[in-house]
Structure 1
Amino acid sequence: MTSTDRIRVGITLGDMNGIGPEVILRTLSDSRLFQNIIPIVYGSNRVMNFYKKELGLDEITFQGAKDADQAVYKKANLISITREELLVEPGKVSVQAGKLAFESLQKAVQDLASNKIDVLVTAPINKKNIQSEDFHFPGHTEYLAKYSNVEDALMLMCSETLRVGVVTGHIPLKDVNTHITKQAVLKKILAIDKTLRTDFSIEKPKIAVLGLNPHAGDDGLLGMEEKDVINPAIHEARDQGILAIGPFPADGFFASSNWKNFDAVLAMYHDQGLIPFKSIAGEYGVNFTAGLPIVRTSPAHGTAYDLAGKGIASEQSFRQALYMACDIYHTRMENRELAANALQPQKKD
């Protein structure tokens, strides 16, 4: 393996009082990871040293770096992004933790844009204490979409057996139906189809589309969104050559294991898709932000303040997020090479 094959993985700290630092430390405690990647954590020596001591993980050492360009192969690298005196309080919400979480994300994204890192893996943030004049978004997905000048990114929850996207993400339930339009549903179907082809190398994706209402509207008895909005979007997608099928009643679709027959599922709103996904994927789920020019993944869990500092948080989801980021990066590179070679004029004998 050459140095160019090693993927530079930028890792954001997330909320320092949540389980982010712990799952990062536990993931990086496996030195076998360093054969293929160069991990670069954007955080704080003080925070990492605190958790190393609290959790008995003193065997993990970090190579300090002032810049991502100085990251060392076969080492866990750490860029300390603040000189502030930090008060680490596991399980507590603090303004300081929100400020550090944003500074970590901001620096990592800047390095990603400058090609100093190849992919981004984000530890969980508290969506409230991170809010400021510079961060006024519902979450990572919307922030990264804005930074990338992408109008509508797709939150795609992934495991080895199931992928679930949502039409509406982090909005109140009372506002969902106003955002369920034919164009919105169609755009998400198109986005899922594209990411399955380009990021997962699925040549002919099969996409299930869920209904909005109970029983998928019961032929209009329980709501007209399926007839007036979702069905027309599915038909238009099929006219464009996309294999979209539905709308399915959400409860029966997952209860009958019908999801196993599809490459991805499009849910109408957050909990409709994420509750069954997390029930099925367990601690191995990953949140992938599809539709961006960059690769970003994160664990499929939040800050989990109730577990922070107790040494019982599982790193499986974070580890899978790291693996998936690298896999998608490789897939994109391979597909670009194939496309470039296909465009080259063939030499004549």
Structure 2
Amino acid sequence: MTKKAENVIVGISVGDLNGIGSEVILKTFEDTRMLEFCTPVIFANVKALSFVKKSMELTCNLHGIDNISQMVIGKINVLNVWKEGFNVEFGKEDMMAGSLAIKSFTEAVTALKQGDIDVLVTAPINKHNIQSEDFKFPGHTDYLNEQLEGDSLMLMVQDNLRVGLLTDHIPVNEVSAHLTEALIRKKLTTINKTLKQDFGIGKPKIAVLGVNPHSGDNGVIGKEDDEVVKPALKKLFEEGVMVFGPFSADSFFGSGQYEKYDAVIAAYHDQGLIPFKTLSFGNGVNYTAGLEAVRTSPDHGTAYEIAGKGVADFNSFKEAVYLALDIYQNRAVYKELTKNPLKIREKQEEKKYS
């Protein structure tokens, strides 16, 4: 049985309080219709968020709680995960802000693991000021990968445009060393399962971009595509995974080829993220695929340069909430369907002829 919409609990980590995270969170839920789709629990401090609300002249009502059991369906719940005072200084990089961002995040992950929340949406952090003796991860994803079962894959989503990465936050000069047949198999197996389970696509088609210019031009411009990527894709295709490529990355998006596929997998961060952010027009969502639980985030950072000015666009954060809810429901349906394979085939036939 799937939950009623308003009973789906969306846990939200507040991100860097000196950035735009709290602004886009509050703007999203200022529209009370959002509370018909879910019930938010923001892991933060109600005094800090009340300051942001007042600064932005927002009208949303915040319900402060000290324990998750005090949560009220249909309200904007703020779970006080720290008691100490914090002076929000918009646009300033501050180690205390980083510490509180991680406190919010780790408490939210614990709640997710315990089933107190159904999905997690994370507001932006500053990867520099979050580092400490207690938290030595580059960002959200690496910590989630340790805490939640599975193999994480960064998947950027905007409607039917889905761009995943074989490697993500590593230097460009290390990309080739990381690209192994084992890695490619793991990532593509993950994305294939994700497209079925989380997006309801029966037989997904996946495009893979080449590592080198023109996919190496038959070894003239690098050998990785011929010696590593192609053999891995060939084996996966023979096993029934509908994977194609490697394609020359320079023309793949501009020519519209991406529209023929359910997902596109880039070899490294900027190869995938630059075209994605160009095409998504500020409405993109970062989804951590491959985990046992659902986590999304907006596709932007702390944006210190506009923090506190009341001009931050909240569409990406709102879309992150919508996507988390969609995937949560899709997983429930998929779980039910897998109990009866005949239902899956019937569902696929419906989509084929609709």
What letter matches 2:18 in structure 1?
A: N
Q: Is the 8 A contact 2:11 2:120 kept in 1?
A: yes
Q: Secondary structure at the match of 2:291?
A: coil
Q: Is the 8 A contact 2:2 2:332 kept in 1?
A: no
Q: Is the 8 A contact 1:68 1:117 kept in 2?
A: no
Q: CA RMSD in A?
A: 1.6
Aligned-pair CA distance for 1:250: 0.7
Aligned twin of 1:200: 199
What letter matches 2:228 in structure 1?
A: V
Cα distance in 2, alignment partners of residues 264 and 341 from structure 1: 26
What letter matches 2:145 in structure 1?
A: A
Aligned-pair CA distance for 1:321: 0.3
Aligned-pair CA distance for 1:2: 9.4
Structure 1 residues 317, 126: CA separation in 2 closer, same or farther (over 3 Å shift)?
same
Aligned-pair CA distance for 1:47: 2.0
What TM-score comes out, normalization by structure 2 length?
A: 0.94
Aligned twin of 1:88: 88
Aligned twin of 2:266: 267
Cα distance in 2, alignment partners of residues 86 and 205 from structure 1: 48
* Match runs of 1:111-150 below 5 Å: 111-150=111-150
* Match runs of 1:30-179 below 5 Å: 30-57=31-58, 59-150=59-150, 152-179=151-178
Aligned-pair CA distance for 1:341: 4.8
What letter matches 1:148 in structure 2?
A: L
Q: Secondary structure at the match of 1:120?
A: strand
Q: Secondary structure at the match of 2:16?
A: coil
What TM-score comes out, normalization by structure 1 length?
A: 0.95
The percentage of counterpart residues that share the same residue type is: 49
* Match runs of 1:4-19 below 5 Å: 5=5, 6-19=7-20
Q: Secondary structure at the match of 2:274?
A: helix
Aligned-pair CA distance for 1:180: 0.9
Q: Is the 8 A contact 1:34 1:75 kept in 2?
A: yes
What letter matches 1:192 in structure 2?
A: I
Q: Secondary structure at the match of 1:153?
A: strand
Q: Is the 8 A contact 1:287 1:299 kept in 2?
A: yes
Aligned twin of 1:220: 219
Range moving further from structure 2, 312-321 or 32-41 = 32-41
Aligned-pair CA distance for 1:149: 3.9
Q: Secondary structure at the match of 2:25?
A: helix
Structure 1 residues 2, 334: CA separation in 2 closer, same or farther (over 3 Å shift)?
closer
What letter matches 1:215 in structure 2?
A: H
Aligned twin of 1:242: 241
Q: Is the 8 A contact 1:23 1:314 kept in 2?
A: yes
Q: Matched residue pairs, number?
A: 342
- Runs of at least 5 residues in structure 1 that lack an aligned partner in the other structure: 344-349
Q: Secondary structure at the match of 2:85?
A: coil
What's the CA shift string for 1:29-56, capped at 9, x where partnerless? 0100111211100012232122112111
Q: Which runs of 4+ in 1 moved over 4 A?
A: 1-5
Aligned twin of 1:347: none
Aligned-pair CA distance for 1:188: 1.1
What letter matches 1:242 in structure 2?
A: V
Aligned-pair CA distance for 1:342: 5.4
Aligned twin of 1:309: 308
Aligned twin of 2:297: 298
Cα distance in 1, alignment partners of residues 192 and 341 from structure 2: 22
Aligned-pair CA distance for 1:270: 0.4
What's the CA shift string for 1:40-98, capped at 9, x where partnerless? 000122321221121111x1111111222221112111011111120211111111001
Aligned-pair CA distance for 1:161: 2.7
Q: Is the 8 A contact 2:22 2:52 kept in 1?
A: yes
Aligned-pair CA distance for 1:133: 2.3
What's the CA shift string for 1:322-343, capped at 9, x where partnerless? 0000000001011112223559
What letter matches 1:307 in structure 2?
A: I
Aligned-pair CA distance for 1:4: 5.0
Aligned twin of 1:25: 26
Cα distance in 1, alignment partners of residues 331 and 226 from structure 2: 37
Q: Secondary structure at the match of 2:304?
A: coil
